[in-house]
Amino acid sequence: MQQLPVIQPGRPAEGQRPVFDKIGIVGLGLVGGSIALAAREVWPASLVIGVDNKDVLETAMRLHAIDVAADDLIVLAEADLVVLAAPVRQNIALLSELDDNVRQAAVITDTGSTKRAIADAARALPARFTFIGGHPLAGAAKGGLEHARPDLFKGRPWLLTPSGDAGGPAVEQLSAFARALGGEPRIVDAGTHDRMLAFLSHLPQLTASVLMAVVGDAVGKDGLSLAGRGLADSTRLASSPPEIWKDIAATNEDELGPALDALITLLQDLRRDLPFGERLTEVFTTAAGWRELLTK
């Protein structure tokens, strides 16, 4: 007698054909946790292995984000995909531990916000590993596993920065993985990535945090009670934790530095122009034009 398939609500009866059988995720924050949740939803037959500290793993098990939990990389011995989703410099440090722990051929990727530093470090990996840098452009106002959700990547670009052959099978596999999780994979070189993101993400983040610090220090708690939606929007990013951004700043200094210089120079221009408003009119007009594109 044939067995009927068990239909689970919210999951396809059999899932999509798995791209990877054993998916190891190191670092279960907002992004790592969301990859885990999405992968379990899309490929119920694949094994999702989470590596983090015991507290985070406990939360991950409670949220049904992973199948296997461990605080040691040895659990990745049979992984065919390893996703490094810790802060950038932790990911770089983890690379050197993969040879001793992952025993078979595997695709190695990461989710860090800078791509050149890890690509450089990945050149030292043994030949059985294929490293392809990755950066899903998805985020939320608050980080951490408790804010992870399987639809975090839906409709968002997922940048891939292969070092060598962009047409290789591992790139194909990783693109299929990103697409199955809702993302839109795009190939870009690591240098272009780091320059673009310095402006699109790192500069706005630093600006928001500096603005919030300056305003808060100047007006205090009572003053902030008068603040409207304008200040709230402008500083929404300022809730971000320093640990992640320390690594981003350090590994993208040569791009972020000049981006900050451009911002500082224009602020100085405007400061000198306050009584006249000519430069202000130019800058506001330019800004409103770009802002219009952003809403489309």
Site for a second copy in 146-165 (CB under 8 A): 156-157
Our finding on whether 200 is near a second copy (CB under 8 A) is yes
Q: Pairing relation of β-strands 157-162 and 129-136?
A: antiparallel
Residue closer to a second copy, measured from CB, 105 or 250 = 250
Our finding on whether 35 is near a second copy (CB under 8 A) is no
Which residues, 70 to 129, sit near a second copy by CB under 8 A?
none
Our finding on whether 261 is near a second copy (CB under 8 A) is yes
CA-nearest of 272, 259, 132, 289 to 194 is 259
- 256 touches 193 (CB < 8 A): no
Rounded to the nearest whole angstrom, what is the least distance from the CB of residue 61 to a second copy in the complex?
28
Segment contacting a second copy (CB under 8 A): 11-19, 63-71, 122-130, 284-292?
A: 284-292
Rounded to the nearest whole angstrom, what is the least distance from the CB of residue 49 to a second copy in the complex?
28
Rounded to the nearest whole angstrom, what is the least distance from the CB of residue 179 to a second copy in the complex?
17
Which residues, 208 to 247, sit near a second copy by CB under 8 A?
208-219, 221, 223-224, 226-242, 245-247
CA angle 59, 64, 65 (to 5 degrees): 80
The contacts of residue 202 (CB under 8 Å, 6+ apart) are 113, 245, 248, 249, 252, 255, 256, 259
Segment contacting a second copy (CB under 8 A): 29-37, 51-59, 162-170, 259-267?
A: 259-267
Q: Is the dihedral of CA 93, 97, 103, 105 positive or negative?
A: positive
Our finding on whether 69 is near a second copy (CB under 8 A) is no
The 10 Å CB-count burial string (b at 16+, else e) for 162-180 is: bbeeeeeebbebbbebbeb
Segment contacting a second copy (CB under 8 A): 32-40, 66-74, 76-84, 272-280?
A: 272-280
How many binding residues for a second copy (CB under 8 A)?
85
Our finding on whether 264 is near a second copy (CB under 8 A) is yes
The contacts of residue 148 (CB under 8 Å, 6+ apart) are 28, 29, 30, 31, 32, 33, 34, 36, 37, 63, 65
